[in-house]
Structure 1
Amino acid sequence: MTTMWTRRIPWVLLLGDLIALALFVFIGQQDHGLVDEVNPLWGVLQSGWVFFVVWAAAGLWLGAFSEQIADPAGRVGGFLSRSLNTWLVAALLGLLLRSAVLGRAVVPTVFIVATLGFGGLFVLGWRLLFVLGWTLARRRSAARQEL
């Protein structure tokens, strides 16, 4: 893998994460009949900005946007566990901040479970796909260098 590509990994991860979160918010709005018919993107941004900001901050703090995807032995478990840890922190902080912004004292348990589960499925699913693609590209690059 080239150094130029490696330097872009954090930005690719952040962009993919934000798209995954936006899809999660949009599908949630669709399920609850809350899609802004005039401008769905604006509706997603209004509802999701809290999660986007908290995810980016938690990701920087916990190393979720690191250029290092694999350890020296080529294992990606550290990347995936950092991603999971970041999601658990960001989702809960995002829920608390969203509740505060909306002036609500209580976050319904169903919303907590749905956010942790379905939001995690989107973000961690995207990151798993990224790791699979990254691993495949790395193997191809190594095979080309051996020739």
Structure 2
Amino acid sequence: MSSGSENIKMLNDLLKVKYSLLERMLDITKLQSEAIDREDLAALNKLIEEKQNKIDDIDRIDEKFNMGFSRSKKQLNTLDTLETRELKQNTERILSIINDIIKFEKENNEKMHSSMDSYKVQMNNINVGKKAISIYNKPYTPSNSSIFIDRKK
């Protein structure tokens, strides 16, 4: 079994790898924002897949970290070494970048909802137009009802 210091070093190494993956996720999130602005759905889907791969990698790292952390928990409470301070700093850095990602994700979600609302209005207008055309293209019969396509402004 490895010593407490080696476990803490392993935990720090895992946190560094996780941080680099989170940095890439932040970059992907920013690129997603640009793809949303351009309405480039193909690029957006590709970025979503890449981001999901990073999330899966982070999940595997978290599993390893949790196993190592549970082994070293007692030692972490008693040790005040450079490694434990570095562990705390790495954790703070990770929390900071996660907050940045969350901020961009919220902005992206708002943009997507705005785009979806715009498309819903356009689809509704198209459906009203189709209905009007189909009714006015039918031969006249007394049972045909009229349809209004103008709106009060």
Normalised by the length of structure 1, the TM-score is: 0.35
Ranked by relative contact order (alpha carbons within 8 Å, sequence separation 6 or more), the top structure is 2
